[in-house]
Structure 1
Amino acid sequence: MRSVWGLVAVVAAATFYLYLLSAFLPAAPPRALQPGAEGQEREELEERRLHFPSDLDELRELAELLKFYKRQHTAYVLLLYCSAYLYKQSFAIPGSSFLNMLAGALFGPWHGLFIACVLTTVGSTNCYLLSRTFGKRHIIRLFPEKVAMLQKKAEDNRSSLFFFLLFLRFFPMTPNWFLNITSPILNIPIPIFFFSVLIGLIPYNFICVRTGAILSEITSLDDIFSWGTLLQLLLIACAALLPGTLIRHYSKTHLKLDGLEVNGHRNDLNDRKSR
């Protein structure tokens, strides 16, 4: 029970901090004070409330609002974004794809990718540490079969543990948040966990961030079918397929993956190898 209350206290403190950060916005940039638009824009700013986006429309609105503030309050927007991202990752809250796309819209494709990769890794490590400190026995009690399956596979692939974790990140047989909270139970060392997240989620982060950057630049249907946009989409497809292909090729000869499922389909890499 002590561990539960400890976790509740950490979540409550982080939630209160994020609320204070989002509730008290800095002064709006000068555009809101232009003659003839002062009242209307002030009302629009007051009506908008910062919240986690749940669809593309909300993502566009949030990106527009934060880009508006970013012109004179870059440090505030960066702090707010990093705090929100770490909050989601640390407490295993799904929805990182929208925040990755927001990074592309706010900071551009390359700076956004760097920020997303760092925050994904740090947030996942926070989740690992919180699970190890407060939640190991509760996770085992809530998900006994899944934890037992992952434990067996981790032990079977202990000699290639880093590549096994990379495979799980590239081909999510279990959600990333679940892998984060169960890794302490699997006795995965923090350095291996840290770098497997940093490297293993680069393709996913790249796809999301690049998509967000493209969406922020599109103003009409004609922009979608421009050569520039089509080439960027091709680059995204290649970035997603190439690392996964290499890891899958490695897994056929070095990893033991019988019994695992990828996207609901039973993995039979080693079965095919034995035929």
Structure 2
Amino acid sequence: MAPIWGAGVVFAIATCWLYWLSTNPPNSDLVSIASGETKPDPTMNGTPLPNRTEMSFPTNLEELTSLAAILQHYQAAHGGYVLLLFCSAYLYKQTFAIPGSVFLNILAGALFGMWLSLPLVCLLSAIGATFCYLISYNFGYSYVQQCFPDKIKILQQKIHENSDSLFFFLLFVRLFPMTPNWFLNLASPVLDVPVLQFFLSVLIGLLPYNLICIQTGCILSQIKSIDSIFNTWTLCKLGAAAVAMLLPGVIVKKYRHKLEKIKLS
């Protein structure tokens, strides 16, 4: 295993790239708008452009709406740059297990629409989570074990119990609304989860969650609170989808045990 400071080097390089990209657009329009020096249009899709908006990760609905307005304005002339900036920011968050992916999912819907956003966000989620997996495997393997011994032990037992249908179990934990995805990304290499199964489980398992966020982004101007997105009914639907993912695994496990009994007899 490589020394832990190697993860710090990767983080520093990624941070420098994202900072350079966000402060060096193709021309000065975005920087001027972000600093409040210019304001080309009084509104963007009915949303007033703010006098001053920092180019940073949004942490609330107001910041998200302001950032979406700026990027939508800039997207008309520099769509490729906006796409690159969004992809870089999304991978940065996922790779280093930084909370707040819900805001970027909603932003994707506001910027790119439903049909581009859904495959884009699902793919970025899977790639970013896999980067996190690889960083944990190469730099933090023993540290994850030391920091989360009880959680690792519980998950290890569950994975052992579902080894015959591991992929369906991984889908279940991704779909279940209360699962801490950041911890799964860090712990999976410690639990010997194959990287391909890990990638596919994130790609498919987070699809319903991503879809809900993207649909919200498509009507961003109508949203009053982030909490309203994940109401009781939405969480129940995600929970039901998670349980449904367990059923194929239970069936596979049941019939595999029957076949083993037949062979032994």
**What are the within-5 Å matches in structure 2 for residues 62-101 of structure 1?**
62-101=67-106
Shift of 1:240: 4.3
- Residues 239 and 27 (structure 1 numbering): CA distance in 2 closer, same or farther, change over 3 Å? farther
- Residues 95 and 191 (structure 1 numbering): CA distance in 2 closer, same or farther, change over 3 Å? same
What runs of 5+ residues in structure 1 fail to find an aligned partner?
Answer: 221-232, 257-275
Is contact 1:136-1:184 (8 Å) kept? yes
1:152-173 deviation line (CA, Å, top 9, x unaligned): 1111111100001011011155
What runs of 5+ residues in structure 2 fail to find an aligned partner?
Answer: 41-48, 225-230, 255-265
1:181 is matched with: 186
Is contact 2:91-2:128 (8 Å) kept? yes
Aligned residues: 235
Pick from 236, 245, 248 the counterpart of residue 247 of structure 1.
245
1:21 is matched with: 21
**Distance in structure 2 (CA, Å) of the matches to 1:92 and 1:39:** 34
Shift of 1:26: 3.0
2:115 is matched with: 110
Pick from 38, 41, 45 the counterpart of residue 39 of structure 2.
41
1:225 is matched with: none
Shift of 1:48: 2.7
Is contact 2:167-2:201 (8 Å) kept? yes
Shift of 1:95: 0.8
Partner SS, residue 183 of structure 2: helix
Shift of 1:53: 0.5
Q: Does 1:4 align with 2:4?
A: yes
RMSD: 3.1
Shift of 1:49: 2.1
Partner AA of 1:104 in structure 2: G
Shift of 1:249: 4.5
Partner AA of 2:244 in structure 1: L
Pick from 144, 163, 168 the counterpart of residue 149 of structure 2.
144
**Distance in structure 1 (CA, Å) of the matches to 2:137 and 2:37:** 51
2:43 is matched with: none
Partner AA of 1:21 in structure 2: L
Q: TM-score, normalised by structure 1?
A: 0.76
**Distance in structure 1 (CA, Å) of the matches to 2:176 and 2:149:** 22
Partner AA of 2:200 in structure 1: F
2:227 is matched with: none
Partner SS, residue 158 of structure 2: helix
Partner SS, residue 25 of structure 2: coil
Partner AA of 1:205 in structure 2: N
**What are the within-5 Å matches in structure 2 for residues 45-64 of structure 1?**
47-64=52-69
**What are the within-5 Å matches in structure 2 for residues 211-222 of structure 1?**
211-216=216-221, 218=222
- Residues 39 and 145 (structure 1 numbering): CA distance in 2 closer, same or farther, change over 3 Å? closer
Q: TM-score, normalised by structure 2?
A: 0.79
**Distance in structure 2 (CA, Å) of the matches to 1:173 and 1:67:** 32
Deviating more after overlay: 167-176 vs 52-61: 167-176
Pick from 151, 154, 159 the counterpart of residue 154 of structure 1.
159
Is contact 2:168-2:246 (8 Å) kept? no
